[in-house]
Amino acid sequence: MHKKLYTSLGLLLLIIVAINFVSNEFHLRFDFTEDGEYTLSEATSEIIDDLEDPVTVKAYFSQNLPPDVAKTRQDFQEMLIEYSNRSDGKVVYEFINPSEKESIEQEANKNGIRTVMINVREKDQVKQQKAFMGALVLLGSGQEVIPFIQPGAAMEYALSTAIKKLSVKEKPIIGFLQGHGEPTLDELAQARQSLDILYTTQAVTLSDTTDIAPTAKTLVIIRPTDTIPSSHFQKIESFVARGGRVLVAINRVDGNFQNATGSGVNTGLEQWLLAKGIEVEDNFVIDTKCGSVTMQQQTSFGMLQQQIQFPYIPVVSRFSNHPSVKGIESVILQFASTIKYSGDTTKKFTALAFSSEQSNALRAPVYFELQKQWTQNDFPQNGLVVAAAIEGKLSGNTRSKMMVIGDGDFPINGSSDKARQLSPDNVNLLVNGIDWLSDDTGLISLRTKGATSRPIEALEDSTKTLLKYGNFFLPILLALGYGIYRSQRNKMRRYKWMSENYEEA
């Protein structure tokens, strides 16, 4: 009995070793990760299938990296093997160690590969080591650089985006409406920098003789402040009727810090949206999770600047599971308004972003009481919708889609002399939305594809305690249980043996 058991265990162990050897030799893998981290997406497959010329990837990675960092190199190499296999050899790659020669290090720096400093532990001491973890993508005479491949980040998105940018011959056109007080393209510097990777951004100024270009994929309307003529809405309607997509970031209300008042804004855009069942209300969303403003206060030592929490600047961190907002963690809005849908059920309406559990909406006009002591009773509402998407036949018989955000200031850097630096997620909200509207390949889904991080610090105390004692006691209990089982089994065998001997006697 024991011999048969040990033989079976030995064969099972040999099979497992053989499977690991074959999978490592021929790069066969089974992907059990939550979002298919190690499986190429359909979007990547389409990009690779459309390649007419070979792509070369030069991966600049230092050697002798710590195990947790070296895993990034291994993951990137295995992904390149997948690209090469899927493309029938059109994607070729080589790994270069810049630390080997000074000339190679200079080459890496010249190509835009960033030097990073990583912590290395040696003999109970931690020291910093210079390392390279980047790649250069070459196609024909063009090249794209991935300066730093971050561990656990969306490597496939970075590589597929670089290949697509090099291989695409005509970029989709994204039009930004102008002429009604909207920000210029220069005032959207951060967003434009991201968009120019895959799109051609153009200003769209409508007139009696000018229409939206037939080649335009998406029209972006950001924070108009002047009334939009009905003739311009007719041209926008025609654009949607032929399948054009629209992103609207609207200021339904605005605040004036000089006189501490907030009032409603009407440009005609709100009425055009309402005709499609999308109501952006003339109210101010207030939230306990909010930004701050600087207030000057007179003291005996002179004027003192003080930062105070300002609920009229909600910080949105609740998002739906939708491609346009996936991976976004926190967006700062200024004087946002709620969005409701009253259209028919033939169209698909999806709420995208929400206020926190303690929030409220105040109808305009309002007076900003900067010294007000807010209480929990001031925030009785939960999950107010501040961004939404709608899909279906929005005009005519052609399907289209639209994204509406109840604040028009969130993606604006401003003019060069007064430009402000935006948080990355403020830019991502606009760029992701345009990606979702404009890119039908599904490349947007790769932005957040990577190893899912589930730090134990984020768990509740009761869960952490359960895991702690479970990890400690479970192996002990299993060992005791197995020992008790073996003891009982041996005891039963002795009883059976003694019983058989007794009957024979």
Q: Which of 436, 453, 470 is the last residue in one of the domains?
A: 453
* Residue 183 sits in the same domain as residue 201: yes
Across the range 195-212, mean pLDDT stands at: 92
* Residue 157 sits in the same domain as residue 205: no
- Residues in CB range of 434: below 8 A, 6 or more apart: 174, 195, 199, 218, 220, 247
Instruction: Look up the CATH number of the domain holding residue 357.
Output: 3.40.50
Residue 200: pLDDT band with limits 50, 70, 90 = very high
Across the range 353-366, mean pLDDT stands at: 97
* Residue 328 sits in the same domain as residue 466: no
Q: Are 188 and 413 in contact (CB under 8 A)?
A: yes
Q: Kindly state the tokens that stand for 261.
A: 């008042």
Angle at 365 between CA 362 and CA 366, to 5 degrees: 60
Please give the Cα distance from 138 to 243 (Å, whole number).
35
Give the predicted TM-score (pTM) of the model.
0.76
In the three-class reduction of DSSP (H, G, I as helix; E, B as strand; rest coil), residue 337 is classed as: coil
Identity at 502, one-letter amino acid code: Y
Q: Kindly state the tokens that stand for 367.
A: 């007076």
Please give the Cα distance from 419 to 412 (Å, whole number).
9
Across the range 224-249, mean pLDDT stands at: 96
Please give the Cα distance from 42 to 254 (Å, whole number).
43
Q: List phi, psi (to 5°) of 418.
A: -130, 25
Q: Are 404 and 248 in contact (CB under 8 A)?
A: yes
pLDDT at 423: 93
Q: Is residue 235 part of a domain?
A: yes
Query: Of 63-67, 151-155, 204-208, 469-473, where does the model show the most confidence?
Result: 204-208
In the three-class reduction of DSSP (H, G, I as helix; E, B as strand; rest coil), residue 145 is classed as: strand
Q: Is residue 228 part of a domain?
A: yes
11-48 pLDDT per residue, tens: 666 776 666 655 555 545 555 455 555 578 888 888 89
Q: Are 135 and 146 in contact (CB under 8 A)?
A: yes
Q: Which of 112, 135, 167 is the last residue in one of the domains?
A: 167
pLDDT at 76: 92
Residue 303: pLDDT band with limits 50, 70, 90 = low
User: Which has more pLDDT, 359 or 372?
Assistant: 359
- Residues in CB range of 197: below 8 A, 6 or more apart: 161, 165
In the three-class reduction of DSSP (H, G, I as helix; E, B as strand; rest coil), residue 268 is classed as: coil
* Residue 448 sits in the same domain as residue 463: no
Domain that holds residue 490: 459-504
Q: Kindly state the tokens that stand for 235.
A: 């041209």
* Residue 363 sits in the same domain as residue 464: no
Please, what is the average pLDDT of the chain?
A: 86
User: Which has more pLDDT, 84 or 13?
Assistant: 84
pLDDT at 451: 43
Q: Is residue 55 part of a domain?
A: yes
User: Which has more pLDDT, 57 or 456?
Assistant: 57
> How far is it between the farthest Cα atoms of the chain?
116
Q: Is residue 12 part of a domain?
A: no
Residue 201: pLDDT band with limits 50, 70, 90 = very high
* Residue 437 sits in the same domain as residue 479: no
Please give the Cα distance from 154 to 47 (Å, whole number).
17
Residue 306: pLDDT band with limits 50, 70, 90 = confident
Q: Identify the CA nearest to 348 among candidates 297, 276, 449, 289.
A: 276
Q: Is residue 150 part of a domain?
A: yes
* Residue 135 sits in the same domain as residue 219: no
Please give the Cα distance from 440 to 245 (Å, whole number).
12
Q: Are 315 and 354 in contact (CB under 8 A)?
A: no
Residue 158 pLDDT exceeds 80: yes
Q: Identify the CA nearest to 260 among candidates 367, 174, 134.
A: 367
Share of the chain above pLDDT 70, in %: 84
pLDDT at 454: 47
pLDDT at 121: 74
Strands 385-395 and 125-139: unpaired
> 71-80, 183-192, 345-354, 429-438: lowest mean pLDDT where?
71-80
Across the range 362-378, mean pLDDT stands at: 93
Please give the Cα distance from 409 to 406 (Å, whole number).
10
Q: Identify the CA nearest to 163 among candidates 133, 195, 197.
A: 197
The number of distinct structural domains making up the chain is: 3
Q: Is residue 1 part of a domain?
A: no
Query: Cα dihedral sign for 30, 32, 38, 41?
Result: positive
Q: Which of 117, 134, 167 is the last residue in one of the domains?
A: 167
* Residue 424 sits in the same domain as residue 377: yes
Q: Is residue 123 part of a domain?
A: yes
Residue 387 pLDDT exceeds 70: yes
161-185 pLDDT per residue, tens: 899 889 888 889 999 999 999 999 9
Residue 478 pLDDT exceeds 90: no
* Residue 94 sits in the same domain as residue 133: yes
pLDDT at 346: 93
* Residue 469 sits in the same domain as residue 425: no
Burial of 151 (0-12, 13-18, 19+ CB in 10 A): middle
Residue 155 pLDDT exceeds 80: yes
* Residue 350 sits in the same domain as residue 489: no
pLDDT at 456: 52
* Residue 436 sits in the same domain as residue 483: no
Across the range 272-285, mean pLDDT stands at: 97
pLDDT at 32: 45
68-82 pLDDT per residue, tens: 788 889 989 999 999
Q: Is residue 472 part of a domain?
A: yes
Please give the Cα distance from 375 to 162 (Å, whole number).
50
